[in-house]
Amino acid sequence: MRQPLIAGNWKMNLVRDEVVSLLDALVPAVDGVEDRDVLVCPAFPYLALAAERLSGTRVRLGAQDMGWEAKGAFTGAVSPAMLADCGATDVILGHSERRHVFGEDDAMIRRKVGCAIDAGIRPILCVGETLDEREAGETWAVIERQLTGGLDGLDAAACDTLTIAYEPVWAIGTGHTATPAQAQEVHRQIRGWLAERFGDAVAARTRILYGGSVNPKTIDGLMAESDVDGGLVGGASLKAADFAQLVNYGRNG
């Protein structure tokens, strides 16, 4: 019942010509794939351009972050209505780089999640532990805190369009992909938490993505796990051939 989702987080990469070349190569390579959802998340300035190139295709468009108010005096922030206006349907929230580089905390992320839901933009809430936290045996405690904080006070209906991304910080950009067993263990715990907090229906329908050095060599093993419903991909999403292989996981021969 959960259609897999392969999502590319382009982070602060690619300028206009590169955005156009990547999309022009990517769209024909993935557009015929009907049993997996595909999402790309360019930087803010290129959302509208990307929406134009993606119009009429199956590839969805997302943003990498969002402000937490509808409008007003928030210099540098981008509102949900602005994202929707530019064609974005999804938004990554609470990415570890937002948490660790820009100092976002769970309360800020919770406000963003609520704001996205209110505006009809599908939130992808990112959670994940650092290496120190994993080595101290705190992995689940950290993730539970991030889930509890990021979704505080929401009801099951509000979670209709929610996606969770488990991205262990030690795996992001390091080439050290979590093993399928490591990913599955945490994904299973996340799904159990969703069941307890929001009920079995929400737990059964919510996609849980894995992110952190996903590449064409590691995707098949990860996707074979029962609670891994897709990937949130950084580096490998910047190359059309690699990203197309990820979307076609299990079929690359």
Q: Does 216 bind ligand 13P (CB under 6 A)?
A: no
Is the CB of 108 or the CB of 202 nearer to ligand 13P? 108
Q: Does 212 bind ligand 13P (CB under 6 A)?
A: yes
- Residue of 172, 186, 190, 203 interacting with ligand 13P (CB under 6 A): 172
d(CA 55, CA 114): 27
Q: Does 232 bind ligand 13P (CB under 6 A)?
A: yes
Is the CB of 202 or the CB of 214 nearer to ligand 13P? 214
Instruction: Report the amino acid identity of residue 61.
Output: L
- Residue of 62, 211, 218, 249 interacting with ligand 13P (CB under 6 A): 211
Is the CB of 169 or the CB of 202 nearer to ligand 13P? 169
Residue 13 is encoded by which pair of tokens?
């990469």
Q: Does 67 bind ligand 13P (CB under 6 A)?
A: no
- Residue of 22, 235, 244, 246 interacting with ligand 13P (CB under 6 A): 235
- Is 167 marked active-site? yes
- Residue of 66, 214, 240, 244 interacting with ligand 13P (CB under 6 A): 214
Candidates 95, 129, 133, 225; catalytic one: 95
Options 65-73, 136-144, 165-173, 183-191: segment touching ligand 13P (CB under 6 A): 165-173
Instruction: Report the amino acid identity of residue 178.
Output: A
d(CA 192, CA 189): 5
Q: Where in 85-104 is the site for ligand 13P (CB under 6 A)?
A: 95
Site residues, ligand 13P (CB under 6 A) = 9, 95, 167, 172-173, 211-214, 232-236
Active site amino acids:
95, 167
